[in-house]
Amino acid sequence: MFTFSPEDFAKRTVGSVQEFALLCGRAVGNLFSGRRYWADIFTQMDSIGVGSLPIVILTGFFTGCVLALQAAVSLKEFGAVGMTGKLVALSMVKELGPVLTGLMVAGRNSSGMASELGSMKVTEQIDAMRALGTDPIRKLVTPRILATVVMLFFLTIISDACGTAGGALVSVTLLKLNASTFFHTAYMALTYGDVVGGLVKPLFSGFIVATVGCYFGMTAKGGTQGVGRATTQAVVYAMIFIILVDFLVTQLMIGIFGK
């Protein structure tokens, strides 16, 4: 019969945090020492970065479109429809671009990493790799972290651009605003702090997507059912951490840049 023990739960939680911290520490440490698997890094960049392009472009574009529509309705009440560009650009660059891109990439890649590494774990391929003299963290985890952090940074820029373009398209075609006014207000609204804040977030999100996906994959157990469970947990935890860290980074950026 299943009984809940708070002591066991606490021990398991602390143990998991310790394992996760050790995995992150070793994976990051591998970046600065020993052999680097460049072929694996570029393969992962292709899979994570290029593979995520369609979903990121579509999400960014339509988010920009919806933002422009919603903003125009509210701004119209104050006679400030001309500020639509400013609102779209600020929202996309500071918040929606980084967060939505992080969530999309988490949904696509955290699950992919957890299922791929989880399958390798339950079929003893990870043990075989260790038995053959290869550090699985160096070979499997470090390339995924590096590739995700680098590619998510660029994917966020693309998402920001597509969102602004989507907002512009809606503003010009449906709201009958002037394109040059839209882009001028958008450009003038953005400050150095906004752009830096928006581009720091994907660095954290990329790290979360890769480490959480790899952690649940590397600790999967219990056959195919265990792999499925690891995949689901990876997506859920990655998304929660992305939003939590977004809040913390936003606080930090407000502290640094004052806005």
By C-beta, is 126 or 253 nearer to other proteins?
126
* Spatial distance between the Cα atoms of 229 and 138, rounded to a whole number of angstroms: 25
* Spatial distance between the Cα atoms of 190 and 195, rounded to a whole number of angstroms: 7
For the bound state, the minimum distance from the C-beta of residue 61 to other proteins, rounded and expressed in Å, comes to 34
Report residue 59 as tokens.
């999400």
By C-beta, is 134 or 232 nearer to other proteins?
134
By C-beta, is 100 or 218 nearer to other proteins?
218
For the bound state, the minimum distance from the C-beta of residue 47 to other proteins, rounded and expressed in Å, comes to 12
For the bound state, the minimum distance from the C-beta of residue 140 to other proteins, rounded and expressed in Å, comes to 11
Helix locations, 174-222, DSSP H: 179-189, 192-218
Identify the CA nearest to 206 among candidates 249, 144, 251.
144
By C-beta, is 1 or 132 nearer to other proteins?
132
For the bound state, the minimum distance from the C-beta of residue 147 to other proteins, rounded and expressed in Å, comes to 17
Please list, in sequence order, all residues whose beta carbon lies within 8 angstroms of the beta carbon of residue 62, skipping any fewer than 6 positions away: 166
By C-beta, is 34 or 248 nearer to other proteins?
34
For the bound state, the minimum distance from the C-beta of residue 119 to other proteins, rounded and expressed in Å, comes to 8
* Spatial distance between the Cα atoms of 87 and 92, rounded to a whole number of angstroms: 8
List residues binding other proteins (CB under 8 A).
Answer: 123-125, 127-135
For the bound state, the minimum distance from the C-beta of residue 123 to other proteins, rounded and expressed in Å, comes to 6
Report residue 239 as tokens.
């998304």
For the bound state, the minimum distance from the C-beta of residue 21 to other proteins, rounded and expressed in Å, comes to 17
By C-beta, is 26 or 184 nearer to other proteins?
26
> Residue 219 to residues 19, 42, 170, 232: CA-CA distances in angstroms?
9, 25, 46, 13
By C-beta, is 123 or 178 nearer to other proteins?
123
Identify the CA nearest to 103 among candidates 176, 144, 142, 52.
52
DSSP codes, 1-30: -----HHHHHHHHHHHHHHHHHHHHHHHHH
